Structure 1
Amino acid sequence: MADTGVDIAQLTAEQQATLEQYTAVTNQELKDAVPLLERCRWNVQIAIARFFDGEPPEDPIPSAPPPQDIRRQEVLLNGFGAAPRSSLSGRRPRVEPAPRVVPQPEGQVSTQVPFVFAIIFAPLNLIYSLLSKSFRLFGYLFPFLPRVWGRLTASNINTASVRRTTAGRRPLNPRDTAARFIREFQEEYGSNTLPFYEGGYAQAFDLAKKELKYLLVVLLSPEHDDTSSFIKDTLLAPEVVAFINHKENNIILWAGNVQDAEAYQVSTGLNCTKLPFAALIVHTPQVSSTAMGIVSRIAGPTPPNQFVTKLRQAIRTNNESLDRTRAQRAEQQATRNIRQAQDSAYERSLAQDRERARIKKEEAERKAREEKEALEREEAKQRYAANLAQWRKWRAKSLPGEPGPEEKDVVRVSIRLPSSERVVRRFKEDAEIEELYAFVECFDVLGEGVVEEVEEPKGFEHSYGFQLVSPMPREVFGVEKGGTIRERIGRSGNLIVETLDEEGEEDED
């Protein structure tokens, strides 16, 4: 077996192109695609057939695939018409594997001109391009010229049209090809209730495989003598139409004209030897878990009763295995749904646990943040108290002493403290009002007697938490206005110390 870890860069250009074509059809991962292509000797048709039909046991693969016309067909099958596998029991009917045909319209097939011929014909291509542009310009300038040229060359155009019709129809994509077939069928045989699948053979094949339905393939040729009678007498017979439309039969009807590229490739893949042709394809679990097999073939003109009988017999034979497969898939789907419900419940429970953990973490972070803020406030309060005590000692040391009785130019001030204690103090008349405030602030320190000498606290901005007020008439002597005590109070005065706080400031405002 090939190494699953092969490097894509080690592959040749042809192998890389084959790998790209294979993955574009199967959408398989590279680690699985490269070994399968190596086992198939880089034959993309065999590899795609093995991917969709289930990979059989190792069989000898020819070193070179048989030559085939890629412009007309791209049959994705592996060994049609080969002997049945030895693993199948002899009592079981032989089931021929059904191919999954991926059409390649002729318009998409491009042939590269050799480099030597491209160089030789390059001047001719240039001359042709210049002439075509010149004629196009003349046609634009003189609109009557194209009409005259058309009348002169009408016979040639008709001859070319007949030749093109004889050679083949214009290739379209699978969906448009199906729509064209249905439209031509209704125009030729009138409106009907046949449930034609409006899509390509590969899409109908995949739908039948996915939904475990029967795929009825009908191939026709307008040039065949029995086509018209087969359609009118058999395909459009009431019993055939009713059988195909019956819901319990689970039939997907796909039909095509072998003059179209896709239907021609399907006829080659199904080994169609006689027209009109019908084949019933269904999932065959007895062959492989992913295989699709041809369980009934109807070639040539067939009476409607015999046509329905063959289809009914094939459906009755394979219904039991299909029912088992449907039951297995239903059980697997139920198990998958239960697992998804369990996973969803687990995810919801996990989300709830994560939400509770998040809320708990946020609550713990909030409490830690509040505790930290409270601790910071307490530390700031203690730090402020220590700085205030140090500032009081420093300011008390720098206060001048009280003037003696012999000095006459003094101001006598009576101060009532918040403790209801009254203090009388004399100050020099040129003393600043701030000195009076400092005396009140440092009164407790001065009352202790000797004041130790300390430095002014660094980075500390002191503000007085009180104001001096005269009782009658009420007048506030704020420290922020400055001035001397004599100018603000006079020769004497009675003052009251009012403590400032936030509520007091709001009331004051």
Structure 2
Amino acid sequence: MADAEVDIAQLTEDQQLALQQFTAVTDQETKDAIPLLQRCQWNVQIAIARFFDGEPAEDPIAAAATSGSDIPAPQDTRRQETLLNGFTSSPRSSTSSRRRVDPAPRIVPQPESQVTTQAPLILTIFFTPFSIIYSLLSKYFRFIGYLFPFVPRFWGRLTASNINSPASRRTTSGRRPLNPRDTAARFIREFDEEYGSHNLPFFENAYAQAFDLAKKNLQFLLVILVSPEHDETASFIRETLLSQEVVDFIRNPENNIILWAGNVQDSEAYQVSASLNCTKFPFAGLIVHTPQVSSTAMGVATRITGPTPPAQFISKLRKAMAAHSEPLNRVRAQRTEQQATRSIRQQQDSAYERSLAQDRERARKKKEEAERKAKEEREALEREQAKALYAQNLEQWRKWRACRISEEPGPEQKDVVRISLRMPSAERVVRKFAAGAHIEELYAFVECYEILQSGEVSEKSREPLGFEHEYKFQLVSPVPREVYELKAGGTIKERIGRSGNLIVERTEVESEDEDEDEK
């Protein structure tokens, strides 16, 4: 047998796709699904069929692959109920004390697109005589089967392979074929009309859906099959099925019972009756998961045929349920443990993902902080470089402008303006300017005063390229206060008069204070 613990990464793309399709349909664990797919040669349809119908005792595919010779295919070792072994037991059954459980196949409902429609009226009238003859013959054979029960059973096994054939889908009651959901709804509606209101929790869907639900949730599937042609059907339903103790037993949540019922005149219910070897009506069968036979098998725990008192009906169901409670409890405990392991693994994965997300967030913040610091350092360096370049250009401009300031007028010149300037250093400077000099000459004198005092004036000084000088101070007359702005233009005499006392006020002080606050 292949190793169950196979790394999914080692599977091919087709095998991974087959595994994904199989687990999506069956909801089985990966470690259990891979061995079943390997035994089925990675055929998804065969694996799904074996999951729902159960695997044979020996895998014919594996036997044929390993033998390499013309050895006949192994026979199914599950005991078959026939007329012969009804009186004799096989060696296997004699050596085993375990109670035999008949397999319960999964009946796939007919697709709605394949549901046949009623024949036209003309053909119905034409075939009416044949239908009457067929109905009489069928009733006769049913009567023979009632007298000799082994005959229908033997005949049913001979014709079991033809159950799903198109010929078997014909109905003799004139009922219109519907899809499984509508068929179940029609049965419930007719049941309500016939027997009145009730509290039976009928499953309103296909038999396959109820089968899968019971297998998935480890519940008991109680199948009720009735035939309106039998006289005991009405008494069984009124006296047994609708009795209060039976209804309470079925509705009890602790019993985990799914109730599905059908009329054998419908195609799906007829197929179910044939697959469950039903020979007498009314029929009740309890289907349950049988882990002692196979990990995916479903079996018939008990059969109740014919009219049965309510107490006996409940007693048989309770006895069959008790016989399968221990295996089901083991499977439930195993699934609970698997679910707990899966939950722990998910929590660990979630915690790992959260830790990984936190690490990523810390790394992102650390990276952003490093980028922010680098950007600040780069901007600070750029500001320092710009500041140094501006200071250099300003110094060069002052030297260039200082050599172009007109000399102070001498005593012989009469049309002059006498200006008294109070510098930012509190120094008092008095100088004469030509009356026709532009107001900018006065600003340039204040800007270049230190250069003029130091004697570093040189005719070789050049104006810095691309530098736009801006005066960062203004000249103000204290009393009355008046600002002599440079942009207003005009000569010194026109703006100030023959004389004036001016104060040099810096305008960049506020911006320097703001820069210090930001630092």
TM-score by length of 1: 0.71
> Per-residue CA shift, 1:88-126, capped at 9, x if unaligned?
982222222222222115762589xxxxxxxxxxxxxxx
> Do the aligned partners of 1:37 and 1:47 also contact (CA within 8 Å) in 2?
no
- State yes or no: 1:195 paired with 2:198: no
Mapping of residues 77-476 of structure 1, within 5 Å: 90-104=96-110, 108-109=114-115, 166=172, 168-452=174-458, 453-476=460-483
- Tell me by how many angstroms 1:175 deviates: 2.7
Q: Specify the code of the residue in structure 2 equivalent to 1:461.
A: E
> Do the aligned partners of 1:258 and 1:267 also contact (CA within 8 Å) in 2?
yes
- Tell me by how many angstroms 1:209 deviates: 1.4
Gaps of 5+ in 2: 2-9, 16-20, 62-75, 82-89, 132-169, 514-519
Q: Specify the code of the residue in structure 1 equivalent to 2:52.
A: F
**Closer, same or farther: CA 337–59 of 1 in aligned 2, 3 Å:** closer
Give distance in 1, aligned partners of 2:116 and 2:176.
16
How many residue pairs match? The answer is 434
Corresponding residue for residue 490 of structure 1: 497
- Tell me by how many angstroms 1:283 deviates: 1.0
Give distance in 2, aligned partners of 1:267 and 1:258.
7
Between 96-105 and 402-411, the greater mean CA deviation after superposition? 402-411
Between 446-455 and 95-104, the greater mean CA deviation after superposition? 446-455
Give distance in 1, aligned partners of 2:405 and 2:496.
19
Gaps of 5+ in 1: 9-20, 62-77, 112-154
Q: Specify the code of the residue in structure 2 equivalent to 1:418.
A: P
Corresponding residue for residue 72 of structure 1: none
Between 80-89 and 382-391, the greater mean CA deviation after superposition? 80-89
- Find the residue that maps to 2:429 and give its secondary structure: strand
Q: Specify the code of the residue in structure 1 equivalent to 2:470.
A: S
- State yes or no: 1:477 paired with 2:498: no
> Per-residue CA shift, 1:311-333, capped at 9, x if unaligned?
22211211111122222222223
Between 479-488 and 219-228, the greater mean CA deviation after superposition? 219-228
> Per-residue CA shift, 1:15-46, capped at 9, x if unaligned?
xxxxxx999976999xx99x9699599895x5
**Closer, same or farther: CA 205–38 of 1 in aligned 2, 3 Å:** same
> Do the aligned partners of 2:56 and 2:77 also contact (CA within 8 Å) in 1?
no
Give distance in 2, aligned partners of 1:478 and 1:41.
94
> Do the aligned partners of 1:221 and 1:257 also contact (CA within 8 Å) in 2?
yes
Corresponding residue for residue 135 of structure 1: none
Alpha-carbon RMSD: 4.4
Give distance in 2, aligned partners of 1:431 and 1:177.
114
- Tell me by how many angstroms 1:262 deviates: 1.8
- Tell me by how many angstroms 1:268 deviates: 2.7
Give distance in 2, aligned partners of 1:7 and 1:343.
27
> Do the aligned partners of 1:189 and 1:232 also contact (CA within 8 Å) in 2?
yes
TM-score by length of 2: 0.70
Corresponding residue for residue 67 of structure 2: none
Give distance in 2, aligned partners of 1:24 and 1:497.
88
Q: Specify the code of the residue in structure 2 equivalent to 1:337.
A: S
Q: Specify the code of the residue in structure 2 equivalent to 1:486.
A: K
**Closer, same or farther: CA 87–440 of 1 in aligned 2, 3 Å:** farther
- Find the residue that maps to 2:277 and give its secondary structure: coil
**Closer, same or farther: CA 260–22 of 1 in aligned 2, 3 Å:** farther
> Do the aligned partners of 2:112 and 2:179 also contact (CA within 8 Å) in 1?
no
Give distance in 1, aligned partners of 2:472 and 2:44.
98
> Do the aligned partners of 2:110 and 2:180 also contact (CA within 8 Å) in 1?
no
Q: Specify the code of the residue in structure 2 equivalent to 1:490.
A: G
- Find the residue that maps to 1:335 and give its secondary structure: helix
**Closer, same or farther: CA 495–245 of 1 in aligned 2, 3 Å:** closer
Corresponding residue for residue 66 of structure 1: none
- State yes or no: 1:52 paired with 2:66: no
Give distance in 2, aligned partners of 1:460 and 1:260.
101
- Tell me by how many angstroms 1:218 deviates: 1.2
> Do the aligned partners of 1:37 and 1:43 also contact (CA within 8 Å) in 2?
no
Give distance in 2, aligned partners of 1:330 and 1:7.
31
Percent identity between the aligned chains?
Answer: 67
Give distance in 1, aligned partners of 2:418 and 2:473.
20
Give distance in 2, aligned partners of 1:416 and 1:217.
114
- Tell me by how many angstroms 1:482 deviates: 1.0
**Closer, same or farther: CA 285–39 of 1 in aligned 2, 3 Å:** closer
- Find the residue that maps to 2:461 and give its secondary structure: coil
- Tell me by how many angstroms 1:305 deviates: 4.5
- Tell me by how many angstroms 1:429 deviates: 2.6
- Tell me by how many angstroms 1:446 deviates: 1.2
> Per-residue CA shift, 1:112-166, capped at 9, x if unaligned?
xxxxxxxxxxxxxxxxxxxxxxxxxxxxxxxxxxxxxxxxxxx989969998995
**Closer, same or farther: CA 413–40 of 1 in aligned 2, 3 Å:** closer
Give distance in 1, aligned partners of 2:14 and 2:361.
46
**Closer, same or farther: CA 420–206 of 1 in aligned 2, 3 Å:** same
- Tell me by how many angstroms 1:345 deviates: 3.9
Give distance in 1, aligned partners of 2:373 and 2:91.
76
- Find the residue that maps to 1:398 and give its secondary structure: coil
